[in-house]
A = this chain, B = another copy of it.
Amino acid sequence: MPGTSPTPRARASMADVGRLAEVSAQTVSRYFSGRGYVSDATRARIEAAVAELDFRPNLNARSLRSGRSHTIGVLAVGPINYGTAEILSGLTSRAQATSYAMAIAQLDLDMADPASRAQIRRALDGLLSATVDGVVVMTPYLGLEDLLEGRLESVPAVTVSGRPRQEQDSVTVDSHAAGVLGTRHLVDLGHTRILHLAGPTDRNEANDREQGYREVLAEAGLEPLPLVRGDWSAASGHVAAMAVAPGTFTAVAAGNDQMALGFLAGMRERGLGCPRDFSIVGVDDMPDARYFAPALSTVEMDFARLGRVAIDMLRQRIDSGEHVPRTRLEPRLVVRDSTAPPG
């Protein structure tokens, strides 16, 4: 078949489609936008032309002219660990379902390095240059408020897992409540010497969970033990297990499941079994936690839902132009085999 588009040439435009369908480009635009009247006969001709030319509308031109891009930007600071991956999953699925496109800037950087702040700023500028309709900001780190504050006024934004005091345009799975639930479970079982294996100091969620732990102990009239700190990783939980003095505690409230996993491994190496010699409770309820040895009692955090809610809130923020109230998702205690009464 000679003559069948040897090289597909450049992309077809609405004008090309219009020429083939014998209408104006504007009518093609109307066909795609649904605004305005297009007769069935014209509609059919346009559809044929679109198929023939393999036409796809140019979103750059559309955004430029209309001022809206139907794109949501995501700024993620920090590594893609279990929680982040779940949130991302929720974000993309909800965005896809509401036919929003997603532009993502993820940067995993050393927050101690002062250059990091400049990098975050650049990444955000990049998203804004792409004229996103709104931004989802995932910055679990403390002290980034001022960095973002001046920047985020020009575009609708929703903060995920952000600082606790932000009362608008933010959504989080309540980490304070998670700390409370886990620790209270240990107290209810009768434990009195409860250790907290905390996450990194500069992470909001780590501090919230620690705060929950402290409050429950205070309520129960118990003395908190010296804090042991990790970095969310199983490796750091393992290090912690090697460092603690056995006999000084009967239970551990871990900042997340992975540190609990490492801690369990470390104690096992030292000949100490769970829940015989100590109890431990995690936070996250990652799918693997049920299959740890022993099955881990933990606090479920629905991060995927967090992501979906973030998109919903952002869309509402974009459509209404008004700020949306803070949303706080409630975690849930999941009791398995790693917790038992002391002794």
A: residues with CB less than 8 A from B are 8, 11, 54, 56-61, 63-64, 69, 71, 79-81, 84-86, 88-89, 92-93, 96, 99, 101-108, 123, 125-131, 153-154, 233-235, 237-238, 258, 261-262, 264-265, 268, 287-288, 290-293, 295
Contact = CB atoms under 8 A, between A and B. Distances in A.
Nearest to A105: B96
Contact of A131 (B60, B102, B293): B60
Contact of A287 (B57, B104, B235): B235
B129 A59 contact: yes
Contacts of A153: 8
A131 B105 CA distance: 18
Contacts of A107: 92-93, 96
Contacts of A128: 56
A180 B262 CA distance: 29
Given A11-B154, A233-B287, A288-B288, 4 more contacts: A80-B89, A102-B105, A261-B292, A265-B293
Contacts of A61: 60, 64
12 contacts: A11-B154, A58-B129, A58-B131, A60-B64, A61-B64, A102-B105, A238-B291, A262-B291, A264-B293, A265-B290, A292-B293, A293-B293
A58 B61 CA distance: 11
A337 to B, nearest CB: 10
A110 to B, nearest CB: 13
A237 B291 CA distance: 10
Given A106-B89, A293-B268, A258 B288 contact: yes
Contacts of A235: 287, 290-291
The DSSP consensus for interface residues of chain A is helix
Contacts of A93: 106-108
A40 B76 CA distance: 37
A106 B264 CA distance: 35
Contacts of A108: 89, 93
Contacts of A290: 234-235, 265
Nearest to A93: B108
A96 to B, nearest CB: 6
A176 B154 CA distance: 51
Nearest to A81: B85
A130 B101 contact: yes
B85 A104 contact: no
B101 A96 contact: no
Contacts of A104: 92, 102-104
Nearest to A128: B56
